[in-house]
Structure 1
Amino acid sequence: MVVSSGDSISGIRISSVVPAHVTGENVVHELSALDLAMRLHYVKVVYFFRKDQVQGLDIYQLKKPMFSLLDLYFPVAGRIRKSESESPTAAGTGPGPAVPPFYIKCNDGGVRIVEAKCAMTLDEWLKSDETSLNCRLVAQQVIGPQIGFSPLVYIQFTTFKCGGLSIGLSWSHILGDAFSASDFMNVWGDILAGNSPGEPTLSFSKPEIPIARPLKPSLLPVKPATTVEDRWEIASGETPTEHRSFRFSGPQLRQLRSKVGERFSAFEAIAAVAWKAAAAARGEGSVRRVTVVREDRGVEGAPVIGNGRQSVRGVGIDFDAAGADWGELARAVAEGGADGRKEGGADGRKEIERWVEGEGYPEVEMYGGDLTLVDLEGVGCYDLRLGGRGPALVDLYVEGVGKEGAVLVLPGPDDEEGGGRVVSVCMPSDQMDSMVRALRSELGV
């Protein structure tokens, strides 16, 4: 009998892990305006490991390092609380800086652990074209409706029929970006391997974001969001979003860069193709604005937790993306525009924070307000090692993407071809098929 990935997950068990030591009384983790702008989004990461890498590891051994891990990452085990004071701006009583409406109470509430079993082998799962069903391997809960009781992190361990293992991380973006989430799992892997976590010296301070020239209001890369009751979740209406991913081999990438332009990075080349594909799928004259999210390598001493590691830029063009050359769009991604017709290009984080504070911390879409192109080439997801080797594959996507969609470019696994990427597409369901067809046609995958 052939088992489909859609009905193969069973044996769900749920438990919690808390820090090994009491964090202390009245310890709080303050949230920046940028953190709060991300609160409707969730980073989802699924790591796949072969049987020989996890042989002999039971659930107790997998959970044990987390007690020490949460001593270091104590805000991760906390819960959201509402601020008691009201801001003058939010209350409408006059000008003044808005008081952040939420913070994290470091009360050692813990992270949720999900155990599951899969009736398929790991190879059967990875060979399936149903990559959208990787969501079955990671928890889908969101914060709310009782925000004070909602865990910020879920970790799901799914054992495959062959003995392989997937580890699914659901990480609330309010805690930090994909780099923070990856760091968290890599430290867990180090502790599991027998390395001492040392003293809890990790810094949670926010890096100083440089002030750039102001963006035009039309290019501010956030959009007001409609949520679902008291849940921190973007309302999808009648058109929910879905996620698919596919591998892009090293030879395919080298061929693409030779066509787009060798001076452009892998991300810039793939982002250009994705931009054109989205415009082609939606019709002439569409998708003239995008949001470009990239690692800010200029930030020194970046926090282990926080959203300061990624720059956010609004980029606009005044020509038709569907009919443009790849090189024009790659240049726009790299520089903020093309052929002197550029708009934007500046890091918009400070502008976002000012706007969010000035508007009284509204609920917004960061991913998907405009088509969002995300460079995660530098994320260390393959640095998580079990049995001395990295994952066979890592899938990463963002849950809670707005209707304009997002395309994430991730590192590929270490294999004989080398230098590949994984392209993760998050789009409204009614646009996904045409978008993926256009991407596959353009990329040749």
Structure 2
Amino acid sequence: MEGGRVKVHSLLSVVSSNPVEPGRVHKLSPLDQAMGHHTIHIVFYYGSNPFRDGPYPSDIDNLRVSLSKLLDEYPIVTGRLTRGPEGGWQVKCNDAGVRILQATVNTTMDEWLRSADASEERDLTVWEDMPEDPSFWSPFRIQINNFKCGGLAIGLSCTHMHADITSATMLIKSWAEVHSGQPLTHPPIFHLPPSPSSQRNSVPSSSASHTPTTPANIATVTMKFSSSVIENYLSQVQSQCPDATPFDVLVALFWPRIVRCQEPLFDSLKCSLSICVDSRSGGHPEVPFGYFGNALCLLVRYVDADKLLTGGLGQVCEHIHSHVAEVGADEHSKDGEGPVTVYSRRLTCINMEHMAGAENGAALMYAAAFRKGERPVHVSYRVGNVEGQGLIMVMPSAEGGLARTVTVVLPEEQIANICKDQAILELEPNMIMSGKR
């Protein structure tokens, strides 16, 4: 990172305050194993440093004490990956600890959010890919980034095998609760009883043998849409899709425009879209928010190209909404083409509506308050090693209500087209983190 604005100056390990019982092993599910080539990266931005207030004189001591207490509840986070008797990955819960990096950022947080691109934001979550022998390798890394203005960003990186986006978010939220002396709202659960949805979520382990190929010219843009804008869009589709969600209307806005950018690549009369829905949503009470692991359902939607490109917003919105609703009808994560790779060659959309308004009106990621009343001002998500036609992530915004943040990952030339699309610009999105990954 020579010459960059982020300077990492220390590395240490934090272990749980109480040792894990000897011999404890956590077997990763088939779906967990299918995520082996992907990583999760999250950045929580705070206006001030919550670790400066505490019983100890240094930030790092206050941080380590609360994190150690948290890790008592998450033994698989401190463990190390190893191969089980049948060759699959499992976690040996051995108190090896979590890597903590400390860094300084040579700018204010406001300036960073205005000027940093997606590639530079990666410096807030420095990651080391899994080596051939992971017995000494930490699958979880936390980076504490101090800004010149006194703000702080917590960067979390982990393997997708261990956790999905919701699980990783809940880890930081639980840490905030421990640090502020609050009980855990969603204590972690590592095993679920067999159920129809667990069968639906299972992906054959053979799909893990696929190594994703990520194009070199991938770029990212993040756009924030206000609550009033989303409310207006929902009113426009009310007659055709009365139960539409912000996810539905935003995907209906972006999908046809992305397809037009990719049109020369299409030799079919149908367009396909992969939609990732979390099983922790209301339709699956057997998968609670505290479940730590992967709980994604993959839905593949096919729409006639003519209907997609010439149909109105309401018609496309209804296509998307009706298909997402099918997850409640025990739909399997298959599309007739063999084992599914979750972040596949298709355009993929991640639905994070289940995290909106989940706690006292605040989305789960914005409820991670290490100090009372001081919630994150922004939360950024990234999935590593995504291949194919691109990725759209629709998530709640700090504004609350119907406001949403959309992160789009596409080839550079397509991102350029999306950023100047008149229909999108008319919604006056606040664009941040635009640029190469």
TM-score by length of 2: 0.81
Gap change, CA 1:280 and 1:382, over 3 Å in 2: same
Determine the C-alpha separation between the residues in 2 that align with 1:242 and 1:22: 43
Determine the C-alpha separation between the residues in 2 that align with 1:102 and 1:406: 27
Match of 1:331 in 2: 318
Match of 1:178 in 2: 165
Gap change, CA 1:54 and 1:245, over 3 Å in 2: farther
Determine the C-alpha separation between the residues in 2 that align with 1:36 and 1:117: 35
CA apart distance, 1:409? 0.7
The answer to whether the aligner puts 1:154 opposite 2:141 as a matched pair is yes
> Which moved further from structure 2: 258-267 or 5-14?
5-14
The answer to whether the aligner puts 1:42 opposite 2:42 as a matched pair is no
CA apart distance, 1:6? 8.0
Equivalent pair of 1:119/1:160 in contact (CA under 8 Å): yes
Corresponding letter in the other structure for 2:42: V
CA apart distance, 1:295? 3.0
**1:164-202 residue CA offsets vs partner (Å, 9 max, x unmatched):** 00011113221222111111111100111123569x974
> Which moved further from structure 2: 112-121 or 57-66?
57-66
Superposed, 1:342-421 pairs within 5 Å as 351=334, 365-379=341-355, 380-388=364-372, 389-414=374-399, 418-421=401-404
CA apart distance, 1:298? 2.5
Corresponding letter in the other structure for 1:263: D
Secondary structure, in 3 states, of the residue corresponding to 1:267?
helix
CA RMSD, Structure 1 to Structure 2 (Å):
3.4
Match of 1:143 in 2: 130
**1:240-288 residue CA offsets vs partner (Å, 9 max, x unmatched):** 5343312111122122223344531101101111211210211165771
**1:371-430 residue CA offsets vs partner (Å, 9 max, x unmatched):** 111111332101100321211111112122112211111111137xx5311111222445
Equivalent pair of 1:47/1:166 in contact (CA under 8 Å): yes
Equivalent pair of 1:38/1:174 in contact (CA under 8 Å): yes
**1:93-126 residue CA offsets vs partner (Å, 9 max, x unmatched):** xxxxxxxx21111122211111100010011112
Determine the C-alpha separation between the residues in 2 that align with 1:347 and 1:135: 37
> Which moved further from structure 2: 284-293 or 33-42?
284-293
Structure 1 stretches of 4+ moved >4 Å:
52-55, 211-215, 222-226, 284-287, 343-352
**1:289-326 residue CA offsets vs partner (Å, 9 max, x unmatched):** 11111233222243531212x33211111233333322
Equivalent pair of 2:45/2:378 in contact (CA under 8 Å): yes
Corresponding letter in the other structure for 1:273: L
Equivalent pair of 1:29/1:105 in contact (CA under 8 Å): yes
Match of 1:281 in 2: 261
Match of 2:361 in 1: none
Determine the C-alpha separation between the residues in 2 that align with 1:240 and 1:314: 26
Unaligned runs of 5+ residues in structure 1 are 87-100, 228-233, 357-363
Gap change, CA 1:253 and 1:189, over 3 Å in 2: same
Match of 1:304 in 2: 291
Superposed, 1:207-218 pairs within 5 Å as 207-210=193-196
**1:70-92 residue CA offsets vs partner (Å, 9 max, x unmatched):** 11110111111112336xxxxxx
Determine the C-alpha separation between the residues in 2 that align with 1:207 and 1:295: 17
Determine the C-alpha separation between the residues in 2 that align with 1:300 and 1:50: 35
Gap change, CA 1:347 and 1:128, over 3 Å in 2: farther
Q: 1:434 aligns with which of 396, 414, 417?
A: 417
Gap change, CA 1:21 and 1:337, over 3 Å in 2: closer
CA apart distance, 1:210? 2.2
Match of 2:278 in 1: 295
Equivalent pair of 1:43/1:396 in contact (CA under 8 Å): yes
Match of 1:13 in 2: 10
Corresponding letter in the other structure for 1:390: R
Equivalent pair of 1:45/1:170 in contact (CA under 8 Å): yes
Gap change, CA 1:266 and 1:344, over 3 Å in 2: closer
Determine the C-alpha separation between the residues in 2 that align with 1:322 and 1:345: 28
Secondary structure, in 3 states, of the residue corresponding to 1:253?
helix
CA apart distance, 1:344? 9.9
The answer to whether the aligner puts 1:249 opposite 2:249 as a matched pair is no
CA apart distance, 1:441? 3.7
Determine the C-alpha separation between the residues in 2 that align with 1:410 and 1:365: 22
Match of 2:434 in 1: none
The answer to whether the aligner puts 1:62 opposite 2:63 as a matched pair is yes
Matched residue pairs, number?
399
Corresponding letter in the other structure for 1:382: Y
The answer to whether the aligner puts 1:204 opposite 2:227 as a matched pair is no
Match of 2:249 in 1: 269
The answer to whether the aligner puts 1:30 opposite 2:27 as a matched pair is yes
Gap change, CA 1:429 and 1:272, over 3 Å in 2: same
